[in-house]
Amino acid sequence: MDGKKLAVGWFSFTCCEDSTILFTELLNDHLDEWKKLVDFKYVRQLKTKNSIEGLDVAFVEGAISSAKQEAEVKKIRDNAKYVVAIGACACTGLPSASRNDFKDEMITERIQWYMKNFDYSQKVRKLEEVIKIDDAVPGCPMNAETFMAMLTKYLKLFSIVPA
């Protein structure tokens, strides 16, 4: 209302990034309106200069499948007033966490090779198992209407639009 914008970051971890695609589709229709209200400080899919410092809201898609990802998402948590889990993989772990239920006989040589040569943790975890989350937008991919309502909720909470 006074020129202040909602500082937002959009992050992806282990997932297929379909919610990111949906988000960019929403930008087709809403970019002009949102850029008056939202400062997109971190959206790697849209720009190369990004900052995670001083975020009002971090939207996080995907499950956490390595120690490196765990450290990254904890850093995001430390830099964001609110964190919203985006999509089923972030909210429940699945389908990205399917390998948690593999029986020994399903762990093929190829899978063993990946586990040995990449920095994967034994279990894939939903976001809430790694950091505190404040809200969630379920769906595979995320439900677009719920995401829009969530964005409006935070625009109101930060008095950027009237409550």
CB of 139 to ligand SF4, least distance (A): 7
Selected range binding ligand SF4 among 14-22, 31-39, 76-84, 112-120, rule: CB under 6 A: 14-22
**DSSP reduced 3-state for 74:** helix
Which residue's entry shows tokens 């390998």?
A: 99
Verify binding: residue 141, ligand SF4, rule CB under 6 A: yes
Q: Which is nearer to ligand SF4, 7 or 73 (CB)?
A: 73
Q: What region, left, alpha or beta, does residue 34 occupy, with left being phi > 0 and alpha being psi -120 to 50 degrees?
A: alpha
Please report how close the Cβ of residue 141 comes to ligand SF4 at its closest, in angstroms.
Answer: 4
Instruction: Tell me: does residue 138 bind ligand SF4 (CB under 6 A).
Output: no
Question: Is residue 144 at the binding interface for ligand SF4, with CB under 6 A as the rule?
Answer: no
Residues in contact with ligand SF4, shown as a per-residue x/- string from 77 to 106 under the rule CB under 6 A: ----------xxx-----xx----------
The strand order across the sheet containing 38-43 reads 38-43, 6-12, 55-61, 80-86, 135-137
The answer to whether the beta carbons of residues 37 and 99 sit under 8 Å apart is no
127 counts as binding ligand SF4 under rule CB under 6 A? no
Residue least distant from ligand SF4 (Cβ): 15
The long-range contacts involving 47-50, CB below 8 angstroms and separated by at least 24 positions, are 50/9
Helix, strand, or coil here: 55? strand
Q: What are the helix and strand counts (H, E) for the chain?
A: 5, 5
**9 versus 62: smaller Cβ distance to ligand SF4:** 62
State how far the Cα of 67 lies from the Cα of 70, in Å rounded to an integer: 5
Question: Which x/- pattern over 24-63 shows residues binding ligand SF4 (rule: CB under 6 A)?
Answer: -------------------------------------xx-
Which residues are at the interface with ligand SF4 (CB under 6 A)?
A: 15-16, 18-19, 61-62, 87-89, 95-96, 140-141
